[in-house]
Amino acid sequence: MSLGPRVPCYGPRGQLLSNSSDDALTSAHLSQKYPVPFAGSHEELGLEKSWMSPDGRYGPYGFGEEDKSYSRTVVDWDTVDWGLLQNDCFALNAHRFTSEAAKFLNNPVRFAWKSAGKVPEDHQWTDFSGSRRTAIILRAYDGYDYKKRDMQHIRSLIVEASLRTGG
């Protein structure tokens, strides 16, 4: 089954992520010697030999915004409604997802003779039609003191795993 095309979503700066250079990750091609991988090959995988600075990786999510040289639009991160951004993104891309949730089969008997139960068949990825959404759950202890870096990582997860992928 062919999925419909992804519809671009809005990011924390109020612009479509596909049109916002402030929300883009940047890397640089340097003439320095590139590290040899422990296993495998960059060429065989078609990977470019590029470097990503902390600003190139986390700049779109607030890294370095206190510096005068920060060239992106500054965001008031405390006012960004991440849930609304994700819900709006999902609504724009709802045509790509199945409308029903996966069924939970609670049929195995908890205490049964080993020989009496049936072994459930393994499912393959091809058994599922359409696209499914996946939740990423972050856990922290009560009272965890979130640092700037933690928040930049969380923002990057939301944008890259949800908003940039169409839901």
126-154 pLDDT, tens digit each: 665 656 677 899 999 999 999 999 999 99
- pTM surpassing 0.75? no
Q: Is the pLDDT of residue 95 over 70?
A: yes
The pLDDT value recorded for residue 82 is 96
The answer to which of 17-26, 96-105, 143-152 has the lowest mean pLDDT is 96-105
Reading the block at residue 10, the tokens are 């809005």
The answer to which of 19-28, 91-100, 104-113, 138-147 has the lowest mean pLDDT is 104-113
Q: Is the pLDDT of residue 17 over 70?
A: yes
The pLDDT value recorded for residue 34 is 79
For the chain, domain boundaries: 1-30+49-100+127-167
Q: Name the percent of the chain lying above pLDDT 90.
A: 52
